[in-house]
Amino acid sequence: MEHKKRFDFLSTVSPTYVEEVLNSYTPDAKVELVRIDDACGRVFAEDVLAPEDLPYFDRSLVDGYAVVSKNSQGASETNPVMLQKKGNVKVGMVPQISVEDGECVYVNTGAYIPPGADSVVMQEFTREMESVVEILKPVYRGENIIQRGEDVKNGQIVFKKGKVITPFDIGVCAALGITELIVFKKPTVGIMSTGDEIVSPFDNAKEGKVRDVNGYVLFTLFRRLGGQIYYVGIARDEIEDVKVKLSMLRDSDMFCVSGGSSKGERDLIIEAVKELGGDILFHGVNIKPGKPFFYGLLWGKPLFGLPGHPLSCIAVTYRFVLPVFFKMLGFESRVPKTLKGILTTNVPSTYGVEEYVNVIVKEVDDKIFVEPLFAKSATISILSQSSGYIVVDQDREGYEKEEEVRVFLYEI
């Protein structure tokens, strides 16, 4: 991918420009063959064609009598039609008998319809007397029968490329005898935290140290969404350590580097990327929180430099990183879940900056209310309280109380 311009560090670009750059990245399509019992939640990598009709024979939808429909015309409780019972067809049997005018054959639900019959009278509308059956209600041609190929035709496109596979899709595949599917491979996400002040959650945080939040949030988020995760831990604020840990992630499909909130730390990470042959495409975005966000290509793969503060990190991840990740998963289009609600208070914002505000969504008397949660970017617990976030466009100075806003939900 060619890039015409390279931006100076700390100069900010617009969110629109960021979207253009990220949309221009086209991941290599990696696919694999999996059994249907391992395919749920994956994404079809090609259209799936039906290898046969479903059902592949005419089947009864009820317990009753297979008949020639014209023989049932005029039948009623007081004036039944009398038909000769010719035999039975059980589920799983191929009928060795046929139905002629004046005859009927008893069939179970799911049984093969014998030749000659074109409908089934439900057992509730019949009376059997030895070898004679009274038909008490007329049926039309095809009634109570699912015909061959009525559900799925041989050669029909059953599933389109890019669809997420559900348990119900697995059921359709099982019914058609499709036992293996070609799906997109799970992308590998390489994750690294940085900073001398960062320690593992398993360690004591003292003397100004803080535990690694972003690494574990990113790890669990991408894994829950279907990624393979390679987490190399925490890199110290030394260029060689950053380079070593980045090199450990080389086989990943994308990289998420969290940390480097100060100018010196950011420059260190960026210099390490450059020394490894990478290219920084922009550094600094006109958003709040998340301004330090940078993006580049390393070994031809996307690298996201995420802010160190958790609120900023998550805002950038949901706004910009997940769309790229979803493309790698094989989604042709996937948009975040949203809903509209009424603001419970004013939301001030800085004109000229796109701002993200965490909110709680509440339903009262069938109305949706959106309560802003104002917090600093270093806040952590607010994420667990939030339903999602709203976006204040850079051309606005905020929202007013009782204004309708769109909420981007954290639930995916």
- 185-211 pLDDT, tens digit per residue, is 999 999 999 999 999 999 888 888 999
Q: What pLDDT, on a 0 to 100 scale, did the predictor assign at position 52?
A: 98
CATH 3.40.980.10 maps onto the chain at 15-30+186-329
Q: What pLDDT, on a 0 to 100 scale, did the predictor assign at position 377?
A: 65
CATH 3.90.105.10 maps onto the chain at 33-51+150-184
- 322-361 pLDDT, tens digit per residue, is 999 999 999 877 778 999 999 999 999 989 999 999 999 9
Q: Quick one: tokens of 234?
A: 């925490």
Q: What pLDDT, on a 0 to 100 scale, did the predictor assign at position 4?
A: 38
Neighbours of 348 (CB within 10 A): 13
Show Cβ contacts of residue 396 under 8 Å, excluding neighbours closer than 6 positions.
349, 351
Q: What is the pTM of this model?
A: 0.84
Task: Encode burial over 277-299: b for 16+ CB neighbours within 10 A, e otherwise.
Answer: ebebbbbbbbbbbbbbbbbbbbe
Residue 260 scores a pLDDT above 70: no
- 3-21 pLDDT, tens digit per residue, is 333 434 457 899 999 999 9
- 355-372 pLDDT, tens digit per residue, is 999 999 999 999 999 999
Q: What is the mean pLDDT of the chain?
A: 93
CATH 2.40.340.10 fits 338-409, yes or no: yes
Q: Quick one: tokens of 61?
A: 């939808």
Amino acid at 213: V
Residue 145 scores a pLDDT above 60: yes
Tokens 């005898």, residue located: 177
- 379-388 pLDDT, tens digit per residue, is 788 999 999 9
- 55-105 pLDDT, tens digit per residue, is 999 999 999 999 999 999 999 999 999 999 999 999 999 999 999 999 999
DSSP tag of 290: -
Which of 3.40.980.10, 3.30.2270.10, 3.90.870.40, 3.90.105.10 is the CATH number of 33-51+150-184?
A: 3.90.105.10
- 278-305 pLDDT, tens digit per residue, is 999 999 999 999 999 999 999 999 999 9
Show Cβ contacts of residue 346 under 8 Å, excluding neighbours closer than 6 positions.
398, 399, 400, 401
Q: Which fold has domain 15-30+186-329?
A: Molybdenum Cofactor Biosythetic Enzyme; Chain A (3.40.980)
Q: Which fold has domain 59-146?
A: Molybdopterin biosynthesis moeA protein; domain 3 (2.170.190)
User: Please, are residues 107 and 91 in contact by the beta-carbon 8 Å criterion?
Assistant: no
Cα separation of 27 and 24, whole Å? 10
Cα separation of 157 and 357, whole Å? 43
- Antiparallel, parallel or unpaired: β 404-409 and 338-343: antiparallel
